[in-house]
Amino acid sequence: MTGGGDQVDNMAAEALSGRGVEWNEVRALLAAETDTPMGRDRALGAIPLLDPLAVSAALDETSQARLAVAAHGLPPWHAIPDVRPSLTRGRADGAVLDGVELRRLVPVLEAAPRLAAYGRSVRPVAPALADIGHRLPKLDDLREVLSAALADDGTLTDGASPELRRLRQRIRDLQRRIVRDLDALFQASDADRIFSDRYVTRRNGRYVVPVRAEARARLRGIVHDRSQSGQTVFLEPDRVVDANNDLVDITRQEEQEAARLLAELSEAVRARLPEIERLVADLGELDWIVARARLAERMDATHPVLDPGVVSLRAARHPLLLAQSWRDPARPVVAVDLELGRARPLLVVTGPNAGGKTIALKTLGLLVLMAQVGCHVPAAAGSRLPLISRLVAVIGDEQSVA
| pLDDT exceeds 50 at position 2 | no
pLDDT of the residue at 3: 46
Average pLDDT over residues 6-29: 71
DSSP 3-state of 316: strand
Cα gap 28→192, rounded to integer Å: 67
Average pLDDT over residues 265-289: 98
Average pLDDT over residues 290-318: 96
Residue-wise pLDDT for 67-117, tens only, equals 999 999 999 999 999 999 999 999 999 999 999 999 999 999 999 999 999
Kindly give the pairing relationship between strand 221-226 and strand 201-203: unpaired
Q: Which of 344, 389, 393 has its CA nearest to residue 364?
A: 393
pLDDT of the residue at 15: 60
Phi, psi of 385 (to 5 degrees): -140, 150
Residues 6+ apart with CB under 8 A from 101: 83, 86, 89, 90, 154
Helix ranges restricted to H, 225-352: 241-271, 273-299, 319-327
Sequence ranges of the domains in the chain: 162-250
Residues 6+ apart with CB under 8 A from 253: 167
DSSP 3-state of 82: coil
| pLDDT exceeds 50 at position 310 | yes
pLDDT of the residue at 330: 83
- pLDDT bucket at 329, cuts 50 / 70 / 90: confident
| pLDDT exceeds 50 at position 7 | no
| CATH code of the domain made up of 162-250 | 1.10.1420
* C-alpha R_g of the chain: 32
DSSP for 218-241 reads GS-EEEEEE-TTSSEEEEEEGGGH
